[in-house]
């Protein structure tokens, strides 16, 4: 499945996008991925010391390559375990894995290292950034390698719902690695105590009804940041798009784009949901859900494992479900793919390609899915007895897989990060200021966005 997509730059506004594509709800939405980001502060220096080659016990040289990755906690555990497995699987290549913070930190460091001639051979790359890295010449096109090794790679085995951001101008630049969608996390214990059916809410109307009942019990339905990733999902559910088909103008000020903001404002104004703002908005949402002040939260599938642990520790039952539908279901994808930087010699490129293939096998995606919650990227993984049994025991993990049927790629236009920042500010203003209507706020945001998109 090939998608022609446009590039995206990495200004400060990129943080609005990058925070929206991982696990949990911190900052904007990434608490699960941001947890454990401390440490490895001097990774670049460590990499330089490691050099480009390591001696084997037999005295020959093996290729040593840097792999830079994002996020700590269980996500880091999974990545380091997979690297360990690769290094132990053969004696020709040594991968030196180095933590580089969140996506925004990682991407900035990769750009700087590339300019200095010291870029990692392989790196995580958040899907919305594929275009700018590809078109700026920083990452290797993988089309020929994928075709050459098609029998081993089995590109068609990757879930089609995750391939939309892997291509730039119909050329392959990355393989899906730790990929995600937002899902609804539910405190089933709270719902049962309030006399509500734990199978819901399945629609916006049901979410409102559930929240009214919960308010009577002194709770709120949901605490959530006005996150662009979630907003993209609600726009899709309403039948709309974020941008015009050619990407040259805003489409979010259409009735379909205004509807989610009107819905959020109505529920917030009546105390049915809480929408905090600022850098701690996502963390506040996580805390309210963890402390059983709110029955629901939106969060990445990457947070399933951690959320199950929280629910167990706080003695409540947790389930997950699709994001509630409006006219239909709809959800954006997120997370990262693995890419290879472009200034490698042939031996390094082949070694990096071997590593990327190993990290994205069915066996690897099964492991990281079970350890963290990220989506199984391969269709064959879903047919294994191991995952079938896992889903039977823990159906919370399977929801995001099923929801992929309703997934769509994220916008990739160069100006979209800045547009997203403008839009987020407009949404928050519309929700918090009773004098500002959602339509007026989004019209103003669209006017600013169009100036950026038309350049």
**Count of structural domains within the chain:** 2
75: CATH: 3.40.190.10
Mark whether 188 and 308 lie in a shared domain: yes
Q: Please tell me the predicted confidence (pLDDT) of residue 132.
A: 83
Mark whether 139 and 243 lie in a shared domain: no
Asked if the structure places residue 373 within a domain, the reply is yes
Asked if the structure places residue 152 within a domain, the reply is yes
Please give the average pLDDT of every successive group of 10 residues along the chain, which has 455 residues: 38 51 41 37 38 45 96 94 98 97 94 96 92 91 97 96 89 96 97 97 98 96 96 97 95 98 97 94 95 96 93 97 97 95 96 98 97 95 96 95 91 84 96 96 98 92
Q: What is the pLDDT of residues 126-149, one digit of tens each?
A: 988 888 899 889 999 999 999 999
Mark whether 161 and 42 lie in a shared domain: yes
Q: Please tell me the predicted confidence (pLDDT) of residue 19.
A: 53
Mark whether 44 and 167 lie in a shared domain: yes
Mark whether 430 and 284 lie in a shared domain: yes
pTM of the model: 0.83
Q: Please tell me the predicted confidence (pLDDT) of residue 12.
A: 43
Q: Which residues contact 127 (CB under 8 A, 6 or more apart)?
A: 21, 165, 166, 174, 179, 333, 334, 335, 336, 337, 409, 410
Mark whether 263 and 149 lie in a shared domain: no
Asked if the structure places residue 99 within a domain, the reply is yes
Mark whether 266 and 364 lie in a shared domain: no
Last residue of a domain, one of 370, 398, 426: 398
User: How many other C-beta atoms lie within 10 A of the C-beta of residue 416?
Assistant: 29
Asked if the structure places residue 24 within a domain, the reply is no
Q: Please tell me the predicted confidence (pLDDT) of residue 16.
A: 54
**Domain span at residue 212?**
182-332+411-453
Chain-centre distance for alpha carbon 294: 23
Mark whether 388 and 279 lie in a shared domain: no
Q: Please tell me the predicted confidence (pLDDT) of residue 33.
A: 43
Asked if the structure places residue 93 within a domain, the reply is yes
DSSP 251: -
Sign of the four-CA dihedral 245, 249, 250, 251 = negative
Mark whether 173 and 192 lie in a shared domain: no
Q: Please tell me the predicted confidence (pLDDT) of residue 32.
A: 37
Mark whether 202 and 192 lie in a shared domain: yes
**DSSP states of 102-117:** SHHHHHHHHHHHHHTT
Asked if the structure places residue 43 within a domain, the reply is yes
Asked if the structure places residue 129 within a domain, the reply is yes
Mark whether 134 and 269 lie in a shared domain: no
Dihedral, 185, 188, 192, 196 alpha carbons, nearest 10: 20
Mark whether 93 and 195 lie in a shared domain: no
Asked if the structure places residue 378 within a domain, the reply is yes
């Amino acid at each position: 499945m090939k998608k022609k997509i446009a590039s995206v730059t990495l200004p400060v506004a990129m943080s609005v996008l990058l925070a929206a594509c991982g696990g949990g709800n911190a900052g904007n939405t990434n608490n699960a991925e941001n947890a454990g980001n401390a440490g490895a502060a001097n990774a670049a220096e460590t990499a330089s010391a490691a050099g480009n080659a390591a001696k084997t016990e037999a005295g020959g040289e093996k290729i040593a390559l840097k792999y830079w990755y994002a996020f700590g906690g269980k996500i880091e555990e999974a990545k380091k375990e997979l690297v360990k497995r690769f290094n132990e699987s053969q004696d020709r290549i040594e991968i030196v894995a180095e933590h580089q913070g969140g996506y925004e930190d990682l991407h900035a460091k990769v750009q700087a290292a590339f300019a200095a001639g010291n870029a990692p051979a392989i790196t995580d790359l958040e899907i919305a950034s594929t275009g700018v890295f590809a078109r700026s010449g920083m990452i290797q096109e993988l089309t020929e390698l994928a075709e050459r090794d098609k029998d081993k790679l089995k590109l068609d085995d990757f879930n089609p719902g995750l391939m939309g951001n892997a291509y730039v101008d119909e050329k392959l630049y990355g393989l899906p690695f730790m990929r995600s969608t937002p899902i609804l996390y539910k405190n089933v214990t709270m719902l049962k105590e309030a006399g509500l059916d734990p199978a819901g809410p399945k629609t916006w109307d049901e979410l409102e009804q559930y929240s009214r009942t919960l308010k009577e019990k002194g709770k709120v339905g949901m605490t959530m940041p006005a996150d662009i990733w979630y907003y993209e999902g609600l726009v899709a559910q309403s039948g709309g798009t974020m941008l015009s088909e050619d990407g040259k103008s805003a489409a979010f000020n259409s009735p379909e784009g205004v509807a989610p903001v009107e819905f959020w404002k109505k529920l917030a104004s009546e105390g049915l949901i809480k929408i905090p703002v600022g850098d701690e908005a996502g963390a506040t949402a996580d805390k309210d859900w963890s402390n059983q002040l709110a029955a629901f939260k939106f969060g990445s599938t990457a947070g399933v494992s951690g959320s199950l642990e929280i629910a167990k520790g706080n003695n409540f039952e947790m389930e997950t479900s699709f994001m509630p539908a409006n006219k239909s279901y709809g959800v954006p994808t997120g997370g990262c793919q693995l890419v290879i930087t472009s200034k490698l010699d042939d031996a390094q490129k082949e070694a990096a390609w071997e590593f990327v293939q190993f990290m994205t096998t069915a066996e690897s995606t099964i492991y990281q899915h079970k350890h963290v919650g990220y989506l199984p990227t391969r269709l064959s993984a879903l047919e294994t007895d191991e995952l079938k049994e896992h889903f039977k025991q823990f159906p919370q993990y399977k929801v995001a897989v099923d929801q992929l049927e309703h997934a769509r790629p994220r916008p990739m236009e160069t100006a979209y990060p800045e547009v997203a920042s403008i839009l987020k500010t407009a949404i928050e203003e519309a929700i918090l200021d009773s004098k500002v209507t959602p339509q007026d706020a989004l019209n103003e945001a669209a006017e600013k966005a169009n100036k950026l998109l038309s350049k």
